[in-house]
Chains A and B, each alone.
Chain A
Amino acid sequence: MTVMKITLGCLYPDIMSTYGDRGNVATLLRRCEWRNITAEVRELRLGDRFEPGEFDLIVIGGGGESQQRLIASDLHKIKGPGIREAVAQGAAALAVGGGFELFGRLYQPGAGAELPGAGLFDAYTIGHRAILDDHYDTLSEARADRAIGDLVVRWGDQLLVGFENHMGGTYLGPAAKPLGQVVSGFGNNGDGSEGARLGNAIGTHLRGPCLPKNPALADFLIGAAVMRRHRDTELPPLADEAERAARQIALRRAWAATHGRRARVTLRPPAAGPRWGSARRRGVPGLSPQGCP
């Protein structure tokens, strides 16, 4: 058996890692290690150039508006073209939260100039309130305007679990495909879509971090990276009992949240348009405690 090797590019690990995002990198590295795949991590900071041929897997984590302001122009001007080229060549990518928002065309803060993004996904995000400036007096006011809670997404024949904490204003353009459909939670903007997908690149609001409890998603990214480097996708299965147990709990919670005391309410058809809090409690038939693998 040949020794397989892939290269991970971690974008701004010092700035974009607000929600335990290094857990996603740790998951990718361990799952490679357990399969005897050598994974080299290269950190890409502000000012570093991005050579598209070097990277098989690109990872960017989440961060708030102040972090997004720091990285936006670097991402747009210095790294964006390389990232788009790498993904076009088949590289895998995972962009989470604030990183996902800036992998789109632009992020419009509640106040001030828009932040142009990497332009990988045909998507844009609108921050509807100026959270960093003088809009909110208290944190509870700011919290009430955000989508915060558990999030379950149907991705092909899989369910992805995690939670979300964002402004809920991500809109997909005609050229973008969502990652999946919201089963429980809010998603991009309340229209039932969540995340974005382009080739092997995935953008999502799923936090948790998302890969440890969604090993299928981690293996999809590793598989795509190995395929790009070695034209080979044979990934031996791993013993995922611990991950499955944690998934089971997350799915049961989401099921209880949507089918619990609000059972009758949840039979309504999906609410139209981004109304805060409405889609979050929407129940979707098909999610049950047995719904996980």
Chain B
Amino acid sequence: MTAIKAAQMSSVASARRAFAVSMGKAVRGGSRRLGKGDGSAVPGAVALAIDPGTLAGLVAEITRGAVLVTGSNGKGTTCRMLAEVMRAAGLRPILNREGSNQLSGLATSLVASSGRFGHLPADDQAIGLFEVDEGSFPGIIKQITRPSALVFTNVFRDQLDRYLEPAYLMSVLERAMRNLPADTTLILNADDPRVAYLGPELENPRLYFGIQDTRHGRAGIDPTSDFPRCPRCGGELTYDCVFYAHLGHWTCHGCGLARPEPRVRLTKIDLLGSASSRVQATTDAAEMVLDIPLPGLYNAYNAAAALAAATACRLPDRAFSAIERVTPNKLRMERVEVAGHDVYLTLAKNANGYTEVLRAVLSDGQPKRIMLGLNDCAGKQPDTSWIWDVDFDSLCGLIPSPVITGNRAHDLTVRLKYAGWLGTSKATALTTEPDPVRAFQLSLARTPPGEPLWLVSTSIVLQQVRRWLRHQGFVREAWQEQDQRPGVTL
């Protein structure tokens, strides 16, 4: 009797799952056919509404388990690098599309990958690799309860009206991490004191990554550091070397807490202008030189995080060099050719990101054509105060006649005025044009023939420009490209 009842119950559950998945798939197909974009959150939300266990059930079917990547900056790029390594090692990673990193976005990805009857295709080389929004992390690990590894890239002050102050965010994350099983490897940034000190009471295995090449550091402390204090005792942190913000080689003289010695180390980094870098990396088993087709120290950190995760997943060393095949994420220095110009769409969504992106683009000290954008999430998230922590002051004069755009363009103009970019009375070439498409056309017209143009902005501005470029036939939708790549689900 009980056996029959159990069988009935399980068949009800599996019918429910199949129905949830097929409804999700129908919504996804419909929204694409209607041209409403890729429908990245809605299908998952529909499936979860029908069967709240959809995500948990589908993830449990992935043979080689799941790796989660979270943190403020660099999640998406770290995932892309790690995915290349996994593919080179013969695995077939199941990824969520960049940006679809909340609960419903994750569910969408798995719904899209699964078959009609609500199951993933049987594949003993399948491995889950999911970018997880740090604010959604507590909810997501209630579904993905047994990740094999958790990568934490860094933590920065980011959208305070969404994630609240970093201390609050971290306290919520730490509580959520207590539910992780004891065998989940934590892959942590040794150079970020707040990340290195995550979950001090947890006994999980840890693998640290960090940068050893102190030529890229400065002495002292960055005034915009979000974590100037020791995460354990509250004492003042001292740095032998600061790479940027609060990332560096840190020590607390109050309680003796110090940067852990990383097992995955970048021993030498050469930043090669605004497009690429060469890093020398050392892991337990191997030493290698990698040419990464992405600029800036922050991408070196992403490579280190990906190498550390690959080490934790025990992927073969020979696969590590596949990191070199990484292509930029959508809106992460995404190159689009427009009327003979290379146009780079570059997302910068918080103070640290904006500063580092501008530094990467302007690293050779030569003036560049850059359109700067700033928008908020109208009505819901009005906070753009972080622009006052972006180091515009030292870049004064490096961006000739910039166009400032976005629904908060005027705020950015005021910021630049106080950074000394325009005098109080004398005429200036700085132009404020809140409409992103008009601003883009203006910027393009001002860019001398053949010269590249960078669009550095928060996301809504870039999405509007990208949509316009798509209508003009300059870019294809990311999902159209991704769907055609062999061996990639989604």
Contact = CB atoms under 8 A, between A and B. Distances in A.
Interface of A: 13-15, 17-23, 26-27, 30, 34, 63-67, 69-70, 131-134, 136-140, 142-143, 146, 148-150, 163, 165, 207-209, 212-213, 238-239, 242-243, 245-246, 248-249, 253, 257
Contact of B172 (A18, A26, A137, A207): A137
Interface stretch (B31-39, B260-268, B414-422, B477-485): B414-422
Contacts of B389: 17, 20, 22
Interface in B152-166: 157, 160-165
B448 interface: no
B446 interface: no
B172 A139 contact: yes
A150 B383 CA distance: 9
A208 B387 CA distance: 10
Contact of B385 (A20, A148, A239): A20
B164 A212 contact: no
Nearest to B378: A253
Given A18-B160, A131-B168, A132-B171, A242 B388 contact: no
A243 B414 contact: yes
Contacts of B161: 143, 148, 163, 165
A21 B157 CA distance: 13
Contacts of B223: 13-14, 22
Contact of A22 (B160, B381, B388, B410): B388
25 contacts: A15-B229, A18-B165, A20-B351, A20-B385, A21-B388, A26-B388, A34-B424, A64-B164, A64-B168, A65-B167, A136-B172, A139-B135, A139-B162, A140-B135, A142-B168, A163-B161, A165-B161, A165-B164, A209-B385, A209-B388, A212-B388, A242-B413, A246-B411, A246-B413, A253-B382
Nearest to A134: B175
Contact of A139 (B157, B168, B379, B410): B168
B424 A139 contact: no
A165 B383 contact: yes
With most chain B CB atoms within 10 A of its CB, the pick from A65, A246, A248 is A246
B163 A139 contact: yes
B138 interface: yes
B386 interface: yes
Nearest to B142: A137
Contact of A70 (B168, B229, B385): B229
Contacts of B381: 148
A21 B389 CA distance: 8
Nearest to A149: B382
Contact of B432 (A65, A67, A245): A245
With most chain A CB atoms within 10 A of its CB, the pick from B169, B171, B387 is B171
B52 interface: no
B382 A163 contact: yes
B388 A20 contact: yes
B383 A163 contact: yes
Instruction: Report the contact-size class of chain B (Cβ under 8 Å from the partner).
Output: 35 or more
B295 interface: no
B228 A15 contact: yes
B59 to A, nearest CB: 20
B487 interface: no
Given A18-B165, A242-B422, A245-B432, 5 more contacts: A22-B223, A64-B165, A140-B135, A150-B382, A239-B424
B172 A142 contact: yes
B472 interface: no
Contacts of B388: 20-23, 26, 209, 212
A19 B385 contact: yes
A242 B416 CA distance: 10
Contacts of A63: 165
B181 interface: no
Nearest to B434: A249
A213 B414 contact: yes
A280 to B, nearest CB: 11
Contacts of A132: 167-168, 171
Contacts of B367: none
Nearest to A211: B418
B167 A66 contact: yes
Contacts of A139: 135, 138, 162-164, 168-169, 172
B417 to A, nearest CB: 5
Contacts of A245: 410, 413, 432
Interface in B402-445: 407-408, 410-411, 413-415, 417-420, 422, 424-425, 432
Contacts of B407: 249
A207 B157 CA distance: 16
Nearest to B168: A131
Given A131-B168, A137-B175, A23 B418 contact: yes
Contacts of B169: 139
Given A208-B385, A213-B411, A19 B160 contact: yes
Contacts of A140: 135
Closest 5 A/B residue pairs (Cβ): A23-B388, A20-B388, A20-B385, A64-B165, A246-B410
A69 B171 CA distance: 15
B256 interface: no
B234 interface: yes
A243 B228 CA distance: 32
Nearest to A150: B382
B470 to A, nearest CB: 28
B163 A212 contact: no
A27 B418 contact: yes
B30 interface: no
Given A165-B160, A209-B385, A249 B410 contact: yes
A19 B351 CA distance: 11
B139 interface: yes
